[in-house]
Amino acid sequence: MDKIYLNELTFYGYHGVFSEENKLGQRFLVDLVLAMDLSEAGSTDAIDKTIDYGDVYERVRKIVEGKPVKLVETVAEKIAAELLRSYERLQSCTVKVIKPDPPIPGHYRSVAVELTRSRS
């Protein structure tokens, strides 16, 4: 299966378990792997045979910058569901939601959740 990668889409959202996260907000990064057959897009050079990256970005932005939820797992599920619902050509997607600065003690680069969802 062919793949499209969108890396480190960056947003500011208010998701989290702690009230400070809901008030102050924080950065979220999203990595996507979109699996589909790209042969027709490659041979015809037609945007309607692939997925518009700008449209994907806007759909993800509306979720991440939208109504706050507690878990990044929920954010990732919403993104995967929206992408599969919106793009008929999409066979599966892997969504990674990264919190670079979560309010937990310790030294680390980030915390993240990654999930893969496919059409049934």
User: Known catalytic residues?
Assistant: 99
Other C-beta atoms closer than 10 Å to the C-beta of 33 total 16
Helices (H) and strands (E) in the chain, counts: 4, 4
User: Residues of 47-72 as b/e, b for ≥16 C-beta within 10 angstroms?
Assistant: eebbbeeeebeeebbebbeeeebeeb
- Name residue 39's amino acid: S
